[in-house]
Structure 1
Amino acid sequence: MSASSKTAVVTGASSGIGAVYAERLAARGFDLILVARRADRLNALADKLSTTHGRKVQVVVADLAQEGDLARVEDVLRRDESVRLLVNNAGIARFRPFAQSTIEDSGSQIALNITALTRLALAVLPGFVARNEGTLINVASILAVHALPVSTVYSATKAYVLQFSRGLQQELATTGVKVQAVLPAATETEIWSDDSGVPLSALAKGTVMSAGDLVDAALAGLDQGEAVTWPSVGDVGLWNTFDAARVALVGATQTGTPAARYTKA
């Protein structure tokens, strides 16, 4: 994938996965619009990338959990016809048992991981479809298919991201628009913090991937045409088997009658 006078928008761009996506996409020739809450980090990254890669880099300081800020970014996506790629990376995690959490914990995860991601996708996709060109990358998580005792809401939000992406892939299958879901395992980013409930130091050594390796693998998957990318999974047959079982399970529901085990006397 390459670009010429085309723009990539990256949310959550001030650090971690988002910052690496910004660097890699600038190296591929994209101009950039970087979105995050921290102006100092965004401006420093913008200066670095414009100097290193000679690309035009704009900064949009925004908290996507806030209505006014989210609306401003939506407006950029609708109006800027140079946008050809959106990385929906911004997200938040709060790892604790649901019964011990607060409504703020759940609300913040839903607002950023689901609502903002959905609205930004809706803001950009009509333009992509009209131009028959564009790429949407939604960053989910391996916890989209697995829940831990402390990840109930987070896993639910990432399951939404995966299924949302797969639905869009079917809707857009006959167009020139690509949608990729990326499912990282534990990655060395600031999502792991005391605020999240699980600091990075609590994760088992050898299980955490660097943000650079994660993004490089995800972009390689995109280049290879993958719809769903598992950056740390070596045996792609595991995913193929899982997905085939899903299709078979859904097919098995189409009987119109209760299963025998529910009707025995």
Structure 2
Amino acid sequence: MTNKPRVLITGASSGIGAVYADRLARRGHDLVLVARDVGRMEALASRLRGEAGVAIEVLRADLTDTSDLASVEARLRGDSRIGILLNNAGMAGAGGFLDQGPGDVDRQIALNVTAPTRLASAVAPRFAAAGEGAIVNIASVVGLAPEFGMSVYGATKAFMLFLSQALRVELGPKGIYVQAVLPAATRTEIWERSGRDVNALQGVMEVGELVDAALLGFDRREPVTIPSLPDAAQWEALDAARQAMVPNFAQSHAASRYRAAA
């Protein structure tokens, strides 16, 4: 056990979650790994215990299952050693909107939206009472780009960006740091699972580089980290344009452009 906060990582059996586990263990954090694949998590935990000398617990959970989700929520509420929640678990549906049935849509929303929101809700009161803690939400640049055509997946990631920004406004004054990480195409198993060939894509980032950049953003306490974006001023301009609109939303009448000419 270290004096650094314990980190609970969802989707920790592979990809981004597994690399976060590696990097955070080497920073001296004890970990709670959460995913469905116990075998992979146990192998990862065994290696990192030996290489980093930290305590690692494996917690099997399918976050689309309400009872499993409730057990992880209970752990977050009750374990005062957990000081960082890393909401990484996610999935993309195969094909486009017309190819995805109700079950496909439900699973994406359950894993990408419902689970991370409920986990953040479970841990936030304890963090607020302590006056410290961090919530990291893995979103995606797809949430900014409807042109990519991943309608449901992109919508879930847009939700996670909004949630992160809103939680920063609400929870930041209480000492809680909230970071949204927006990866672009990254070489993980999500592509194969959704029926897409990652090798057919351009500009695919390796997972290690993505996580290292995200952790640098974490250290800098960035509210939004977009590792693939060369010019931070582009994001800042977009966010500033959004904020400039806000005062104009409160109007007693429709804008003149929506009123018929006299």
Correspondence for 1:215: 211
Aligned to 2:15: 16
For 1:155-176, what per-residue CA distance to the aligned partner results, in whole angstroms no more than 9, with x for missing partners? 1101110111111100112122
Supply the RMSD in Å over aligned alpha carbons: 1.3
Does 1:257 find its partner at 2:249?
no
2 CA distance for matches of 1:169 and 1:177? 8
Confirm or deny: 8 A CA contact 1:137 1:180 kept in the other structure: yes
Q: Which runs of 5+ in 2 are unaligned?
A: none
Return 5+ residue gaps in structure 1 as ranges.
Answer: none
Which position in structure 1 is the counterpart of 2:222?
A: 226
Find the aligned partners of 1:12 and 1:192 in 2 and give their Cα distance. 15
Partner of 2:198: 200
Shift in Å, 1:149: 5.9
Supply the distance in 2 between the matched residues of 1:185 and 1:55 (Cα, whole angstroms): 31
Contact 1:95–1:154 under 8 Å retained in 2? no
Distance in 2 between residues matched to 1:6 and 1:248, nearest whole Å: 37
**Any conservation in 1 of the 2:142–2:148 contact (CA below 8 Å)?**
no
Q: If the length of structure 2 is used for normalisation, what is the TM-score?
A: 0.95
- Structure 1 Cα separation of the partners of residues 75 and 158 of structure 2: 27
Pair 258,23 (structure 1): closer, same or farther in 2 beyond 3 Å: same
In 1, the alpha carbon distance for the partners of 2:172 and 2:84 equals 17
Question: What's the counterpart of residue 91 of structure 1?
Answer: 90
- Other structure's SS at 2:191 match: coil
Partner of 1:77: 76
Aligned to 1:121: 120
- Number of aligned pairs? 260
> 1:248: which partner in 2?
244
More off after superposition, 96-105 vs 175-184: 96-105
Say which SS state the counterpart of residue 256 (structure 1) adopts: coil
Q: Write out per-residue CA displacement over residues 227-256 of structure 1, whole angstroms, 9 at most, x where no aligned residue.
A: 011111111000010001111122232332
Matches within 5 A, 1:47-58: 47-58=46-57
Q: 1:60 maps to what in 2?
A: 59
Cα distance in 1 between the residues matched to 2:205 and 2:191: 13
What's the CA shift for 1:257?
Answer: 2.1
**Residue 42 to residue 231, structure 1, CA distance change in 2 (3 Å):** same
C-alpha distance in 2, partners of 1:173/1:74? 21
TM-score normalised over the length of structure 1:
0.94
Matched with 1:34 is: 33
Q: Could you tell me how far apart the structure 2 residues matched to 1:4 and 1:129 are?
A: 20
CA positional deviation for 1:5: 4.7
Change (3 A) 1:261 1:6: closer
Write the letter of the residue equivalent to 1:235: D
